[in-house]
Amino acid sequence: MTTDLRAGSVVESRKEEVIIRAQNISKKFCRDLKRSLFYGMQDIASEITGLRGERDELRSKEFWALKDVSFELKRGEALGLVGKNGSGKSTLLRIIAGLIKPDTGTIEVNGCVAPLIALGAGFNPILTGRENIYANMSVLGLSRTEIDDRFDEVVEFAEIGDAIDAPVQSYSSGMAARLGFASAIHTEPDIILIDEVLAVGDVKFKTKCYGKLQQLRENQTSFIMVSHSSHSIATVCESALYLRAGKKVTGGDTLSVLNTYEDDLFLGKVENTLGFMQLIEKDAAESMGLDITSLFFRDQDGNVINSPISGELCYLAIECLVRKPLEQVSVNLGIRELSGESRLLVYINSWDDDFYLDMAAGKHEIRVKIPCFGLGLGLYDLRIAIRQDKLSLLDKVESFKFAAKKALSQSSVSLFYQPHSWQVISQQSQ
Ligand SMILES: Nc1ncnc2c1ncn2[C@@H]1O[C@H](COP(=O)(O)OP(=O)(O)OP(=O)(O)O)[C@@H](O)[C@H]1O
């Protein structure tokens, strides 16, 4: 009994152990290569002579890639780093990995770090996969016998088969990432730094990696993970840090950090320029008989809105000018995601619904009623075409960009809103 309690308290106290403590870290870079080399020499000289100059001031052409960033990571915790391109995420990881030094501030790392920072995680391209495993794992602190013992497991996890004896330069980026990931996790480090390396693997391998990460977490390994996929961050990390232009915007609970980040990303300054499209009036000679004049959304009360809200009723309004009476008019529209792979997410075709419009000459608003807008928070691109008799094109709009918002109560991480309701069915005891 006593022993159990002690073991429990040791685990508890290890959980509370701060494994990384970063205090007011700043790092500056210079965009001009010549100047950058000169500053580098200057810094080395002042370090050697002990006359270290003011490092918290910018010299000509320098900028802060990171400025006054502080955070703590406890043993067994996973922290997600989010921010737009160039916001300083990789710079922070490189500082934690000890690859570069901060200009100001302090960083304390209490454990062995496995950095999966670049694709191939520091592999030498002319060495084979086998040679690289030995080189890589010994840099991460394993003896030759320990590597011998784990070698087969690494190769099996990486699933690269015979390619293990081919030079790494002949590997695809996915293969290099697999081998990097496999060798890093088999060193059983205290902290793993993951910089988008999982983005290149295929779905099956990714799933396997997430499973392995979960297992390592149960064994108290800590992670810092950079990803542009909110979904990956939300799956792996319980806390997150949002960087903007090198500064910490917010940190803490993953979902609330992702909320702030995604609101900035998708609905920031562009909000008012999206969601309403007015088209230039056509000459009668160019017209095929129907001209789309504007596109926008309405809420359930008919008010014009810039952004449909995920999970709520809205109407897509298509204003058009009909120049002559038309029969058998059909509308089709597709919505693609603007970020990522630009996949077609929604396709609606009025003739699939067996719905055709007969329209008199004049101005009209065609409304597509969407009882529950299904797409999640994000930026989308809508393409629409109006035809007569299914075939002859009357008019089309190639790209109407809009942002979808989410209701306050919704989680930020889902791609779609699934309408649902809850029930409890009580079982009668026999
Ligand atoms: N060695 C360097 N010399 C000069 N500038 C650099 C250097 N390394 C990074 N930078 C700059 O510092 C800023 C932060 O870069 P960093 O790679 O940390 O951003 P990031 O958030 O990881 O971006 P991404 O999401 O695109 O990977 C960028 O403006 C980048 O151009």
Q: Which tens digits make up the pLDDT trace of 117-136?
A: 654 456 788 899 999 889 88
pLDDT of 5 strictly over 50: no
CA–centroid distance, 12 to ligand 1, in Å, is: 37
> What pLDDT, on the 0 to 100 scale, is given for residue 348?
96
CA–centroid distance, 232 to ligand 1, in Å, is: 22
A 10 A CB-CB count for 343 gives: 8
In angstroms, the CA 298 to CA 315 distance is 5
Q: Counting atoms of ligand 1 from 1, which one is nearest the CA of 83?
A: 21
Q: Which tens digits make up the pLDDT trace of 297-326?
A: 999 999 999 889 999 999 999 999 999 999
**Which of 90, 96, 233 gets mutated to test ligand 1 (max ligand atoms within 8 A of its CB)?**
90
> What pLDDT, on the 0 to 100 scale, is given for residue 207?
79
Q: Counting atoms of ligand 1 from 1, which one is nearest the CA of 88?
A: 18
Q: Which tens digits make up the pLDDT trace of 52-77?
A: 655 777 777 888 999 999 999 999 89
pLDDT of 271 strictly over 70: no
Q: Are 174 and 161 in contact (CB under 8 A)?
A: no
pTM: predicted TM-score of the whole model, two decimal places: 0.67
Per-residue confidence band for 430, with pLDDT thresholds at 50, 70 and 90: low
Which residue's alpha carbon is at the smallest distance from atom 1 of ligand 1? Answer: 29
Q: Per residue, what are the HEC states of the chain?
A: CHHHHHHHHHHHHHHHCEEEEEEEEEEEEECCHHHHHHHHHHHHHHHHHCCCCCCCCCCCCEEEEEEEEEEEEECCCEEEEECCCCCCHHHHHHHHCCCCCCCEEEEEECCCEEEECCCCCCCCCCCEHHHHHHHHHHHCCCCHHHHHHHHHHHHHHHCCHHHHHCEHHHCCHHHHHHHHHHHHHCCCCCEEEEECHHHHCCHHHHHHHHHHHHHHHHCCCEEEEECCCHHHHHHHCCEEEEEECCEEEEEEEHHHHHHHHHHHHHHCCCHHHCCEEECCCCCCCCCCCEEEEEEEEEECCCCEECCCEECCCEEEEEEEEECCCEEEEEEEEEEEECCCCCCEEEEEECCCCCCCEEECCEEEEEEEEECCCCECCEEEEEEEEEEECCCEEEEEEEEEEEEEEECCCCCCCCCECCCCCCCCCCCCCC
CA–centroid distance, 29 to ligand 1, in Å, is: 9
CB 89 less than 6 A from any atom of ligand 1: yes
CB 95 less than 6 A from any atom of ligand 1: no
**Which of 29, 93, 265 gets mutated to test ligand 1 (max ligand atoms within 8 A of its CB)?**
29
Which residue's alpha carbon is at the smallest distance from atom 30 of ligand 1? Answer: 86
Which residue's alpha carbon is at the smallest distance from atom 4 of ligand 1? Answer: 29
pLDDT of 371 strictly over 90: yes
Domains along the sequence of the chain with CATH: 16-266 (3.40.50.300), 276-406 (2.70.50.60)
Q: Which tens digits make up the pLDDT trace of 74-108?
A: 998 999 999 988 899 989 999 998 888 898 999 99
ipTM over 0.85: yes
pLDDT of 373 strictly over 90: yes
Q: Counting atoms of ligand 1 from 1, which one is nearest the CA of 243?
A: 21
Per-residue confidence band for 248, with pLDDT thresholds at 50, 70 and 90: very high
CB 129 less than 6 A from any atom of ligand 1: no
> What pLDDT, on the 0 to 100 scale, is given for residue 12?
54
CB 91 less than 6 A from any atom of ligand 1: yes
CB 29 less than 6 A from any atom of ligand 1: yes
Lowest mean pLDDT among 75-89, 135-149, 349-363: 135-149
Q: Which tens digits make up the pLDDT trace of 420-429?
A: 899 999 987 6
In angstroms, the CA 112 to CA 130 distance is 23
Which residue's alpha carbon is at the smallest distance from atom 16 of ligand 1? Answer: 88
Question: What mean pLDDT is predicted for residues 22-51?
Answer: 82
CA–centroid distance, 31 to ligand 1, in Å, is: 10
Mean pLDDT of the chain: 84
CA–centroid distance, 245 to ligand 1, in Å, is: 10
